[in-house]
Amino acid sequence: MSEYVLEMRHIAKSFPGVKVLDDVTLQVKPGEVHALMGENGAGKSTLMKILMGIYTADAGEVMLNGEHLLARGPREAMDKGIAMIHQELNPIMDMQVYENIYIGRELRKGILVDRKAMIQETEDLLRELGINIPAVAYMRDLSVAQCQLIEIVKAISISAKVVVMDEPTSAITEREVETLFAQIRRLKSEGVAIIYISHKMDEIFQICDTITVLRDGHFIGTDAAANMTNEQLIRMMVGRDITEVFPKAEAEIGDVLLEVKNLSYGRQVKNVSFSLRRGEVLGIAGLVGAGRSELAETIFAMRQKSAGEILIGGKPVEIRHPKDAIQNRIALITEDRKITGLNLSGTVAENTTLVDLSRQFPKGLIDRQKENRITDEYIQKLSIRTPSAQQLAGRLSGGNQQKVVLSKWLLSEPEIIILDEPTRGIDVGAKRDIYLLIGGLVRQGKAVIVISSEIPEVMGLSDRILVMAEGRVTGELLRPDFSQEQIMTYAAQFGE
């Protein structure tokens, strides 16, 4: 009998033009939390898709409890006791919570679906996890964080032997992270193996027993988490030392470029005022649900303001539609790149020129050679890993997709750039690339807003930080006064 509940031995996988996995081995014991680490594009997601039967390996074998496993799709993998929580959520938005949890494996009374039993089972699961979401709530009415928690409940509900968690905390609060970790520890005590994928180093050392590192599709090594340091892990992942986590750009801060006065949107943005100067990085911090994304989307007219005004260069502007925001040289890199940031079925080139089509091709006819030349320039400038400008955006890793989103907006030459969770689900190497890019923008005299749930990130990048809670600005800090404790104090100022 093998000591491992799961073994993936000598796995290889190629796609046209690129070998994504080359002789990769992963061995996971029962009751172990096993981190799978590597930069975006290292092959982690491909390896897990082979495990789930989404892809077929070109070489190698998968063993579950000492027996060969050949899942022909996620449903078959789930039937064998393997569950996966994906980084990019795909809930069925027009279904209720209990329906999402039991889809494809409905409880029945005879030939009829037992709706009452599924609702009761779901309510029991949610109560056990301390999650205050009604079983009959519609997914479309939930936040990203709540949808993430429902995916976790769904994976736990199948009594899996192996649970793969791909960036499970990327959009949930610290309190919800503790809820998740408590559940992971419970699963671990019951002998369930957890494969944990995250770019948050503190989480890895807090919850994981063992770490396996991939780099550029190759197996680099496996060791106990207790034997590794943060620096050693980063070196294994990127093949070099990263001495500066947040390279803060020294830029000359100039005149006020953007002013927001008493801006409101329903109950989610309440009477918000602030200014933003050229050469400045303004951080916006707060807990999930504080109204940070809603503020950005209201400025950009994805949401229609209920009160307030916006001034650019001291002059009031009326922004009723995102097109008006673009014409006023505002760019918004949204939180969810796959829903609002990219056309996943379009090529890298088509995505890159999307915002600036009318300026690049004023006669209305797209010159594909020019489009490719423009895209190749941004591929080089932003170090986008892609076989060509004609690669489908949906086939890129998360970090490279985010760089395509950035290139799309940079081509339009904005003066005000709003980045909402720009490094969510992105590896340390790609994060550094984006931090350096932000530094380059402010040195050019651009004005940048960074919204981030990671307090060290918002502190590391910003010249000034606004903190929000329940739609209001509850505090403002200048760089010499930054502290995690003060930010959290402001972020927890609930009540009218």
Per-residue tokens: 233: 């892990």
* pLDDT digit string, tens, across residues 435-492: 988 999 999 999 999 999 888 889 989 999 999 999 999 999 999 999 888 998 898 7
pLDDT over threshold 80, residue 2: no
pLDDT over threshold 80, residue 125: yes
pLDDT band at 63 (very low <50, low <70, confident <90, very high): very high
Phi-psi region of 411 (alpha: psi -120 to 50; beta: other; left: phi over 0): alpha
What's this model's pTM, rounded to 2 decimal places?
0.61
pLDDT over threshold 60, residue 243: no
* pLDDT digit string, tens, across residues 340-389: 778 888 999 999 998 888 888 887 788 889 999 999 998 988 888 899 99
pLDDT over threshold 70, residue 129: yes
Q: Which residues of 294-322 are buried (b: 16+ CB within 10 A; e: fewer)?
A: bbbbbbbbbbebeebebebeeeeeebeee
Question: Residue 6 forms beta bridges with which residues?
Answer: 28, 64
pLDDT band at 242 (very low <50, low <70, confident <90, very high): very low
SS3 340: helix
Q: Do the domains spanning 6-238 and 256-491 agree at the CATH topology level?
A: yes
CATH superfamily of 256-491: P-loop containing nucleotide triphosphate hydrolases (3.40.50.300)
- How would you class 235 by CB atoms within 10 Å of its CB: exposed for 0-12, middle for 13-18, buried for 19 or more? middle
pLDDT band at 47 (very low <50, low <70, confident <90, very high): very high
Q: What pLDDT score was predicted for residue 278? A: 97
Within 318-402, strands assigned E span 330-333
Neighbours of 250 (CB within 10 A): 8
pLDDT: which is higher, 245 or 247: 247
Maximum Cα–Cα distance across the chain: 74
Is the domain 6-238 a CATH 3.40.50.300 member? yes
* Range of weakest confidence among 115-119, 258-262, 342-346: 342-346
Q: What pLDDT score was predicted for residue 244? A: 58
Domain extent listing, the chain:
6-238, 256-491
Q: Which of 144, 127, 156, 28 has its CA nearest to residue 89?
A: 144
Query: Which residues lie closer than 8 Å to 324 by C-beta, 6 or more apart?
Result: 301, 317, 318
* Range of weakest confidence among 37-41, 57-61, 315-319: 37-41
For residues 304 and 325, what is the distance between their CA atoms, to the nearest angstrom? 12
Per-residue tokens: 368: 């594909």
Across the range 204-218, mean pLDDT stands at: 94
For residues 213 and 227, what is the distance between their CA atoms, to the nearest angstrom? 14
Across the range 235-251, mean pLDDT stands at: 70
pLDDT band at 147 (very low <50, low <70, confident <90, very high): confident
* pLDDT digit string, tens, across residues 380-406: 888 888 999 999 998 888 788 889 998
For residues 332 and 321, what is the distance between their CA atoms, to the nearest angstrom? 13
Q: What pLDDT score was predicted for residue 143? A: 77
Across the range 53-67, mean pLDDT stands at: 93
Q: What pLDDT score was predicted for residue 240? A: 58
Q: What pLDDT score was predicted for residue 400? A: 87
Query: Which residues lie closer than 8 Å to 367 by C-beta, 6 or more apart?
Result: 361
Q: What pLDDT score was predicted for residue 496? A: 47
Average pLDDT, the chain: 88
